[in-house]
Structure 1
Amino acid sequence: MLATGGCALLPGSAPEPFERPKPILPSEPDGTREGFQQQEPTWQSCGDALECADVYAPLDWDDPSGELITLNLVKHPAEGDSVGSLFVNPGGPGASGVEYVASGWRGIDEQVRRSYDVIGWDPRGVGGSSAVSCLDAPELDDYLFGLGDAEGLEVGSDAWIDAAFSESERFGSACAERTGPLLGHVGTGSTVQDLDMLRGIVGDPKLNYLGFSYGTYIGARYADAYPDRVGRLVLDGAMDPQTTQFEVVREQTRGFELALRAYVEDCLKRDDCPLSGSVDGAMEQIGEMLDGVDAQPLRGSDGRMLGAGTMLTAIITPLYSQGSWSYLDTLFETVAEGDADLALSLADSYYGRQDGVYLDNSTEAFTAINCLDYPVELDNARMREQAAELQRVAPTIGRFQGYGDIGCAAWPYKAAAERVGVTGAGADPILVVGTTGDPATPYRWAVSLADQLESGVLVTYRGEGHTAYGESACINKTVDRYLLHGTVPEQDPQCS
């Protein structure tokens, strides 16, 4: 399970789906890169102080005169005198930048909104842009919540791996059939070129950008590809561009285990904590709960089954933000009583599912983009070694996180990129924000990214949770000063 997404929404917190107007596309570009940047979008009113537009992009940037796709954008025009545009990406991969801006862009300062046209866009493969499509809702339910072909087989055995591979292969084939050639062109490399096209369309000589989580990977790759076009880039909840898929899983597994321990330590100080004993003892109780639903899944009131994988998703979802830890109290209480419904509801919030309907295609896009971004080869022996390492670094949850290579090894398109470092040589200063207790994008990744970028400036938030802008007055002040004035701190402010 990869968890590089932006912050998960919790039950009852999902915004109303954004009503997007019918697209009005510009004239088709002439098939040159310059032609794509010369598009004149038609901005339509689409809500309170919002404007929407759609533009073309080439399916394949290596063949810009070939098939076209479309990208969907939303803009909140500057409330004062505009200094340019600020593009925003909330993460994922697979999260909608349009929905993020339309729902109120949590945390962006009023003065920043006054000075910038804030623009969110759905990257290729996502949401209102030309999108990945794989399964209908009942089929996706079965894929995510069903017990699967490997049920009853020994985890990690050749038979279990073969069954899991076949299931992933069927999912990939469904994506290829319903999505078509776009499925092979949704990697981050293509999105970086789309972003530079959008910068040109709005007429900004340099890109101003705020990226969270996976959005930092887009920003870092942009800085490396177009360092002379870097304006003010904020990369919050940074990913390390060099990490392999297994390294991402290992570090996130370690991070969520540590975040779970932090929750347990806090919980045990309270009289109403559903856990008991020492921190180690309480972690063992959680592990036993996972083992219990693994051996004997619980049936929810809607008929879906709660196995260990879904239970782990339910645990991870509130760990994205310390303010959501209280959900874990009720989760552990209800599952101990044999009630699966809250656990399923928490997993629903992670997957963007509400009342049996998936509000977006983020789950499908997540897999499609990751499988083009992370090269993998199926090696049973290596996967078993990696699974053992995950259990060593995270004794409570690690044993349920292994064998992630199977999904992308079965994918119909091979990865289009290598995991290499970045330098952004010659770029203006870039702000890299890292949170010491971030479970999804560990702090060491921010340190590494700031070191890789020649002009990287590290800003540390000493706290818990995934991403920091909007969570800390100190971080907000530092980021806002940079976005408004281009000023970077002389030394890491070490916010807390």
Structure 2
Amino acid sequence: MHIRRSRFPRRSRTGVTLVSLAALFLSACSTGGVTSTATRAGAEVTLAALPRATPSALAPYYGQKLTWRGCGVPGFECATLKAPLDYDRPGDGDIRLAVSRKKATGPGKRIGSLLVNPGGPGGSAVGYLQQYAGVGYPAAVRARYDMVAVDPRGVARSEPVECLDGRAMDAFTQADVTPDDQRETDRLVEAYKGFAEGCGARSPRLLRHVSTVETARDMDVLRAALGDRRLTYVGASYGTFLGATYAGLYPDRVGRLVLDGAMDPALPARRMNLDQTAGFETAFRSFAKDCVRQPDCPLGTKADKVGGNLRAFFEKADARSLPTGDKDGRRLTESLATTGVIAAMYDESGWGRLRDALTAAIKDQDGAGLLLLADSYYERDAEGRYANLMYANAAVNCLDSPAAFDGPDQVRRTLPTFEKASPVFGEGLAWSSLNCAYWPVAPTGQPRRIEAKGAAPIVVVGTTRDPATPYRWARSLARQLSSARLLTYDGDGHTAYGRGSRCIDSAINAYLLRGTPPTDGKRCT
């Protein structure tokens, strides 16, 4: 799926992510801590808490002291946390995780550490902290908490997963994900296989040990190293899955947890992808209504015609790519154009930029604006280098859950369902869900409920027209978690905290600062 990380709220960016329009965000689990409950429909799996006592083999990790040092960003310190590569075999070697913090500024008594994660999987939490959270979170929160982030295993500064060089990744992002015939289908399958083989060749040691459960266990090691009895945490998008997993494994160590842009960990990959496809359609309809109210909407003057006009543009780009002026000779293919449009769906503040890019592409045959949107989504720089976001995204997703489809025939049979969910994006997003079918490492996880019985109150936040984490997921997670309080933002965009709703921000700030959770079911605009 393409949930990826939550974009930095309005100010910059980090939910969840596509890999060549083909990043699967397959929520799931991994090794350790599951309990099965038989039902008439089959086996319902629930995440079980780990034993409260720390195993003796893990004691050295839990007892480590962090050595803080300057890291080139004023006001921030950095350290390295050691964790076992394999929690079941801690003697087999370590993985080193990058940690950063900005100490509480005062005034007021320090509450503790506030760990933040912007989502992904694959988003750099350290980058998010240093670029946004450490300076952009409310001053009252920064005054009372040490703001802390750790890049998850396999991500950015924490022994990153690597898969392709820049030129090969360019080719992968241009792969046609709406194949018209068997030849084009075979080419798409080869692109997925090539991506997977690249990850297997370049990161064989890591690929088996980047699951969400392992990352949640790393968070508990960090909690201990920071000297906190309980974890206080704000996670967005995929970060909600990570935070909920932590709560399920360590319910007695839950402090104040905010899960913003919530995921439903009980959904199988195909259903999750389908729900998200519908979520992007919902967001696109909001964009369409806004677009036709503007004097310069390039997709017509009637909202119910905007989708058809955009599909027609995609079809033209599929038949003949557009020039972009890119120094590496890249042209705007249908897949890159679609990625550019989807990138703008995460935040309504990007709708104006999308209108301009579509106007240039449709009226002037200039694909540069949409290419820039796609590049920002993939984190490709002007020199053709990609951050490891897309590689880590696929590595975590494909390990956390069985693949949505096992081959092209399954995709073809399911296409009508995806196209019904989104006439605009359905076909491309269905084929994008094929990625994990060719992964070199078998999944270790499966969909499961997370109840976290005995945990302190957990705030679950859902946005009604969120494209990447549909609102129904927040409602479902809130029903699963035994101590959840559902907080609803009636609005557009991905995630809610820090996006301009005073109601949302004040409710979350009160919880973080005073420990007072909002009333369950509270709604904000």
What TM-score do the two structures reach when normalised by structure 1?
0.92
Which of residues 208, 212, 215 is equivalent to 1:184?
A: 208
Q: Say yes or no: does 1:483 pair with 2:518.
A: no
Match of 1:211 among 223, 229, 235: 235
SS of match in other structure, 2:203: helix
How far is 1:245 from its partner? 1.9
* Residue range with higher mean Cα deviation, 101-110 or 341-350: 101-110
Any residues of structure 2 matched to 1:14-163 within 5 Å, and which? 32-46=57-71, 47-80=73-106, 81-105=109-133, 107-145=136-174, 147=175, 154-155=180-181, 157=182, 160-163=184-187
Equivalent position amino acid for 1:368 in 2: A
Matched, 1:332 2:361: no
Q: Write the letter of the residue equivalent to 1:89.
A: N
**Inter-partner Cα distance in structure 1 for 2:386 and 2:279:** 28
Report the CA distance between 1:493 and its aligned residue: 2.7
Amino acid at match of 2:489: Y
Match of 2:18 in 1: none
Q: Which amino acid aligns with 1:323?
A: S
Deviations 1:104-154 (A, max 9, x none): 217521111111111011000000001101112122112213x46x89x63
CA distance in 1, matches of 2:506, 2:286: 27
**For the Cα contact (< 8 Å) 2:66–2:80, is it kept in 1?**
yes
The alpha carbon displacement at 1:408 in A equals 0.7
Q: Which amino acid aligns with 2:59?
A: E
Q: Contact (CA 8 Å) 2:259, 2:459: kept in 1 or not?
A: yes
What is the CA-CA distance between 1:489 and the residue it aligns to?
2.1
Q: Deviations over 1:67-89 (max 9, x none)?
A: 21110011011112322111100
Distance (whole Å) between structure 2 residues aligned to residue 492 and residue 117 of structure 1: 30
What residue in structure 2 maps to residue 26 of structure 1?
none
**Residue 365 of structure 1 aligns with which residue?**
392
Q: Partner residue of 2:335?
A: 309
Task: Tell me how far 1:63 sits from its aligned partner.
Answer: 0.6
Which stretch has the larger CA shift, 164-173 or 330-339? Answer: 164-173
The corresponding residue for 2:443 is: 415
The within-5 A match list for 1:195-206 is 195-206=219-230
In the alignment, which of 450, 456, 460 is matched to residue 478 of structure 2? 450
In structure 1, give the amino acid aligned to 2:382. Answer: D
1:386 Cα deviation (Å)?
Answer: 2.1
Once the two structures are TM-superposed, the CA of residue 449 in structure 1 deviates from its matched residue by 0.4
SS at match of 1:370: helix
What does 1:221-300 align with in structure 2 at a 5 Å threshold? 221-300=245-324
CA positional deviation for 1:292? 0.9
Opposite residue 6 of structure 1, the aligned amino acid is S
SS at 2:90 equivalent: coil
Helix, strand or coil for the counterpart of 1:488? coil
8 Å CA contact 2:273–2:433 kept in 1: the answer is no
Q: Is the 8 A contact 1:246 1:404 kept in 2?
A: no
SS at match of 1:32: helix
| Alpha-carbon offset, residue 13 of structure 1 | 5.7
Matched residues in 1 for 2:340 and 2:254: separation? 39
Shift of 1:234: 0.2
Q: Structure 1 CA distance, aligned partners of 2:349 and 2:302?
A: 23
What's the secondary structure of 2:486's corresponding residue?
A: strand
**Separation in 1 of the partners of 2:136 and 2:271?**
30
Distance 1:121 1:384 in 2: 40
Cα distance in 2 between the residues matched to 1:9 and 1:486:
24
1:386 alignment counterpart: 414
Mean Cα deviation higher: 33-42 or 233-242: 33-42
Closer, same or farther in 2 for the Cα pair 1:409/1:14, shift >3 Å? Answer: closer
| Preserved contact between residue 107 and residue 469 of structure 1 (Cα < 8 Å) | no
Q: TM-score, normalised by structure 2?
A: 0.87
Matches of 2:320 and 2:84 in 1, distance apart? 49
The DSSP-based 3-state class of the residue aligned with 2:257 is: strand
In structure 2, relative to structure 1, the CA distance for the partners of 1:405 and 1:490 (3 Å cut) is closer
Alignment RMSD: 2.1
Partner secondary structure for residue 92 of structure 2: coil
Question: Helix, strand or coil: the match of 1:358?
Answer: coil
Distance across 2 between alignment mates of 1:130 and 1:49: 24
State the distance in 2 between where 1:260 and 1:392 align. 14
Q: Is the 8 A contact 2:297 2:359 kept in 1?
A: no
Contact 2:5–2:239 (CA under 8 A) maintained in structure 1: no
Give 1:482's aligned amino acid: Y
- Structure 2 residue 348 is matched with structure 1 residue 322: yes
Matched residues in 2 for 1:161 and 1:139: separation? 19
- d(CA) in 2 for partners of 1:301 and 1:374? 40
Q: Could you tell me which amino acid in structure 1 is paired with residue 372 of structure 2? A: S
Cα distance in structure 2, aligned partners of 1:345 and 1:382: 33
* Partner of residue 36, structure 2: none
Contact between 2:233 and 2:257, CA under 8 Å: does it hold in 1? yes
How far did residue 477 of structure 1 move?
0.6
**1:22 aligned partner:** none
Instruction: Work out which structure has the larger RCO, using CA pairs closer than 8 Å and 6 or more positions apart in sequence.
Output: 2
1:341 pairs, out of 363, 368, 372, with: 368
Q: Which of 213-222 and 353-362 deviates more?
A: 353-362
CA distance in structure 2 between the aligned counterparts of 1:136 and 1:379, rounded to whole angstroms: 26
Pairwise CA distance, 1:405? 4.1
Shift of 1:490: 2.8
